[in-house]
Structure 1
Amino acid sequence: MQLLRGALIVDGVLSPAWTGDLLFDASGILEIGPDLSGRVGSHVSVRDCQGLALAPGFIDVHTHDDAALLLDPAMRPKLSQGVTTVVVGNCGISLVPLRLAPDQALPPPLNLLPAEAYRYARFADYRAALEAAQPAVNVLALVGHTALRAACMPELDRPARPAELAAMCALLDQALAEGAGGLSSGTFYAPAAAAPPEELLALARVAARHSGRIYATHLRDEMAGVLAAIEEAADTAHQAGLPLQISHHKCAGHRQWGRAIETLALIERLARRQDLGLDVYPYLAGSTVLREDLVDGHTPIRLTWSAPHPERSGQWLAEVASEWGVTEVEACRRLQPGGACYFQMCEDDVDRILAHPLAMIGSDGLPHDRQPHPRLWGAFPRVLAHYSRERGLLSLERAVHKMSGQSAQRFGLLHERGQLRPGAAADLLLFDPAVVQDAADYADPCRPARGIEAVWVNGRLALEAGVERARAGRVLSPCASRAAGASSS
């Protein structure tokens, strides 16, 4: 049993911050009050937290940590930011239910996860592997539409045939029954682009039969056709009766800059008829696989990895093209398969989206990139430092809410996580609000943040002064009584 004394309590559900004490053990948070020190015995460990803020552990609602949880279960990129729960299986990319044959190709974007990790035909098998690995953070796993297609279809450049769609639905149904948290899609990418809305609707209806599940989507188009893509995703979720999460919402490409005013107005209108939310990462650059169609001559592109030319990781595509004496498109072609950061967004749009009441924070970090986007190590402290303390775009309470209570509510976890209250799980973050700062940048993207004092996961000390301690993460499933909608108060 431990008492955290004299901390600035930021409870994750938008209550004004106040100074007080919190008592907890491995069973969860026991008591919160203005002064508990006189009510506990000598057997209780007391930690003085004066000058520090205490918040619920952050929930990263958009990750690609599916294999990282198994291959590097210490999960330092997330723990060092105060993240205690990750949502995996996003953008249609999940390890379940794809078990790769020895000669089976792994098309982008499935290759954002290592090929050797695709060995789980059932969610129960993946869950067992996670439990055996004992990662340092909790995990909620979605099932990817693209992974379902790859498991059931010999070619992916067409709609699923009736028998193939039935097989996909059966696999999804089984995974959800075994504890998966919902369905994700990524029709932005070639292996899923040929899927018509009817294919996605059939799968969404399967997910809707399981209480508390969600549909998260990387929209078909985040550029010129973004409004139509939002409407397609919303219609699919609405017809299925399933909550919708728009993944890493953005207006990508310089011709779309300023259009967040339009997209958010549409999202607000749709949210009046259905359960809808969105997430965003706090940067002007995105990151994904190398694609020639994203090379437009205007967007700066920084390489994160290249299979044929690994030495080019961290370099600018334009510099590589100039050195080779070829166009950027040709250089992109020669560097594939690979990945890159695309500086596609403008600051005004990111500000509008991040500050919107329906928006929560997801890192979208890619842990297997050779030179990853700094969001992998820095997204959450960046919100606290740059967007809250330095610029005042968000109050401290609102910033923490977008990374804890709002996220927990959205993904069906609020009954036990995302807030500081007696009875909730003791996923806790202690940080210095005057010091906390992301340190990762594009040149040196794997530096841990400053100002994160300690992190507890399920009541056990997981990180202290930058040193990993116990690994106490659990595999989570949504609560059947999932609260509808993201908080907009």
Structure 2
Amino acid sequence: MFDLIFKHGTVIDGTGAPRRDADVGIVGQRIEAIGDLSGEPARQVIDVTGLIVAPGFIDAHAHDDRMLLSSPDMSPKISQGVTTVVAGNCGISLAPMPRGVPQPVTPPLDLLDRSGDWFQYPSFAGYLDALRRQPPATNFAALVGHTTLRVATMEDLGMPASDAEITRMRELAAQALQAGAIGVSTGLAYTTAMPATTEEVIRVCEDLREYGGIYCTHMRDESEGIMDAMDETFEIGRRLGVPVVISHHKLSGARNFGRSRETLPYIEQAMSQQPVCLDCYPYHAGSTVLEVWRARRCERIIVTWSTPYPEFAGYDLDDIAEALGVDRYEATARLMPAGAIYFSMDEQDVERILAFPPSMIGSDGLPHDNQPHPRLWGAFPRVLGHYARGKGLFPLETAVHKMTGLTAGNFGFEDRGVIAPGTYADITVFDALTIDPGFGYSEPMQPARGIVHVMVNGALAWTDGASTGVYSGRQVRRSVMRE
């Protein structure tokens, strides 16, 4: 007796293999059988004729640390077919915070919570315990953030850490790894982590290998100095003896347009010598905190939130400057603390990086922006709709692989990311002819089109355009080291 059968669907299994027509039968939390299941008994049968049955998408780069707790329905993710999120990226995690977060909250930690109320977990174990007590709709894997560790231990963030501070950060990182963190992330491009030396990072991450952890990094430079930043990243991975993930690989600033022709072969060469992975998002605009130095590098900027001027969320920075009667740099200073969308990349670089076979897909969405980047709700449908179907950048099977099997393999998520007997029943059913993000920058908080059913650990979490109210997500750990 099957608990549920998806009947008459077209299976794209997440491995990159060609699609095939088959039924998929689920028992409990796992897939039991794939093939012709006509006549087999089942408690529920869902006819998915004409639809794709794929593994649930894995968001390789998320900032959902707080949303997992504050909005456990996880609508921005589950509505676009995401069943597992990797949180704690860019050096920013909600825990540990043993001495309390400063007020006002130190950027970029304010991307997770501007009030500071959610930085309430002295230990990483306490944060994970809270998620186990109140499961979200999606699965979650969690990184511990280096910047969070700096804020939790250091008196002067404008300096490299002292020996005593490094020792304390290493202790907290090791405790997080022991509790279930899958690795450590850094955000060396942010002001609060820029002073950290390579040696500081290596010493803080010293226990990664013992715990089978991974090193994920928003590198120190994604513009003119990107080659040096990659060298630093690869050195850290080699010296620690752990896999490296280059977060949201991009080339920022007009002077660097086209340089993916240089960076991708360099990454490929490094991959032949050590474990290296990378993720990217399918837009030529990024989003983070608003800062004057970033405003100088970009022609168009949309403000996503502002503490002193909340009414300007969603407006172009130049229009705000005109309304205030100042130049854009004075306007930037007045709006801070704030967030922004920066149109700083070349579309051809974006497509080249997306098409690079080892590139995983991550949203890098910021759930707590007043007017967020559309990638929060639409990154995965945009890959499937705009780039695979619309532009023919790669076959649909490749697109699905980039957001499922490839990601599960790189992160060591056993029995996830593929449709096969015995794997967890994380499944997304979608219409390949209509799948697309809901809207763009003007109305970014809209569910995607074409997502029909989403199942997490054998339970339907989203069906026919709405949450089912079932929260069956669970913690996912690294179970194997990708060699």
Which residue is 1:267 aligned to? Answer: 267
Aligned 8 A contact 1:377 1:445 in 2: yes
Following superposition, the deviation at residue 28 of structure 1 comes to 0.2
CA drift of 1:303 comes to 0.4
Which residue of the partner structure matches residue 203 of structure 1? 204
How many angstroms does 1:482 deviate by? Answer: 2.9
Identity of aligned residues (%): 47
Partner in structure 2 of residue 309 of structure 1: 309
Q: Which residue of 2 aligns with 1:95?
A: 94
- Shift of the alpha carbon at 1:297? 6.5
In structure 2, do the counterparts of structure 1 residues 297 and 256 end up closer, same or farther at CA, with 3 Å as the change threshold? closer
- What's the counterpart of residue 161 of structure 2? 160
Q: How far apart are 1:100 and its partner, in Å? A: 5.4
Task: Please list, as runs of the form range in 1=range in 2, the aligned pairs for 1:434-453 lying within 5 A after superposition.
Answer: 434-453=433-452
Partner letter of residue 296 of structure 1? R
Report if aligned partners of 2:29, 2:459 keep a CA contact under 8 Å in 1: no
User: Secondary structure of the residue that 1:207 maps to in structure 2?
Assistant: coil
Query: How far is 1:27 from its partner?
Result: 2.9
CA deviation after TM superposition for structure 1 residue 99, in Å: 4.1
- Stretch of structure 1 that moved more, 262-271 or 94-103: 94-103
Q: Return the alpha-carbon distance in structure 2 between the equivalents of residues 428 and 130 of structure 1.
A: 22
Contact 1:205 1:241 in 2 (8 A): no
What CA distance in whole angstroms lies between the structure 1 residues aligned with 2:182 and 2:381? 26
Alignment partner, residue 117 of structure 1: 118
Distance 1:203 1:297, change over 3 A: closer
Show the 5 A alignment for 1:183-194. Answer: 183-194=184-195
Structure 1: gaps spanning 5 or more residues: 485-489
- In structure 2, the partner of 1:3 is 5
Q: Which residue is equivalent to 2:253?
A: 253
Alignment check: 8 A CA contact 1:300 1:342 kept: yes
What is the count of residue pairs matched by the alignment? 478
- 8 Å CA contact 1:99, 1:118 repeated in 2: no
Deviation track 1:100-148 (CA, whole Å, cap 9, x = no partner) reads 5376442111110111111112121111111122100000000000011
Q: Aligned partner of 2:123: which letter?
A: R
The residue number in structure 1 matching 2:67 is: 68
Q: Tell me the secondary structure at the aligned position of residue 93 of structure 2.
A: coil
Equivalences for residues 376-395 of structure 1 within 5 A: 376-395=376-395
Residue 193 of structure 2 aligns to a residue in which SS? helix
User: Is the Cα contact below 8 Å between 1:3 and 1:46 reproduced in 2?
Assistant: yes
Decide whether the 8 Å contact of 2:222 with 2:251 is kept in 1.
Answer: yes
Deviation at 1:87, TM superposition (A): 0.4
Task: Tell me the secondary structure at the aligned position of residue 140 of structure 1.
Answer: strand
Q: Which amino acid aligns with 2:111?
A: L
Letter in 2 for 1:420: I
- TM-score normalised by L of structure 1: 0.96
* Residues 421-475 of structure 1: CA deviation (Å, up to 9, x unaligned): 0110000011111111111311000011111000000000101011111110001
In structure 2, C-alpha distance between the alignment counterparts of 1:268 and 1:317, rounded to whole Å:
38
Q: Which residue of 2 aligns with 1:487?
A: none
- CA offsets, 1:382-435, max 9 Å, x none? 00000101111011100000000011111110x210000011000001111111
How far apart, in 2, do the equivalents of 1:105 and 1:305 lie? 15
Query: Which deviates more from structure 2 when the two are superposed, residues 165-174 or residues 95-104?
Result: 95-104
8 Å Cα contact 2:101-2:151 kept in structure 1: no
CA distance in 2, matches of 1:451, 1:436: 4
Separation in 2 of the partners of 1:27 and 1:253?
46
Name 1:30's counterpart in structure 2: 32
Contact between 1:253 and 1:299, CA under 8 Å: does it hold in 2?
A: no
Secondary structure of 2:215 counterpart: strand
Alpha-carbon distance in 2 for matches of 1:243, 1:325: 50
Matches within 5 A, 1:280-319: 280-296=280-296, 298-319=298-319
Shift of the 389–177 alpha-carbon distance from structure 1 to 2, 3 Å rule, reads same
Q: Which residue of 1 aligns with 2:15?
A: 13
Q: How far apart, CA to CA, are the structure 2 residues paired with 1:128 and 1:37? A: 42
1:13-35 Cα distance to aligned partner (Å, 9 max, x none): 111101011100223000111x1
Write the letter of the residue equivalent to 2:456: V
Deviations 1:316-363 (A, max 9, x none): 101111222211111000000000000000111000101101211000
CA positional deviation for 1:229: 0.5
CA contact (8 A) 1:5 1:20 kept: yes
Opposite residue 32 of structure 2, the aligned amino acid is L
Counterpart in 2 of 1:147?
A: 148
Unmatched runs of 5 consecutive residues or more in structure 2: none
What is the alpha-carbon root mean square deviation over aligned residues? 1.1
Normalising by structure 2, we get a TM-score of: 0.97
- Kindly tell me: are residues 298 and 138 of structure 1, through their superposed partners in 2, closer, same or farther at Cα, counting changes over 3 Å? closer
What is the alpha-carbon distance in structure 1 between the residues aligned to residue 92 and residue 44 of structure 2? 43
Distance in 1, matches of 2:107 and 2:124, equals 22
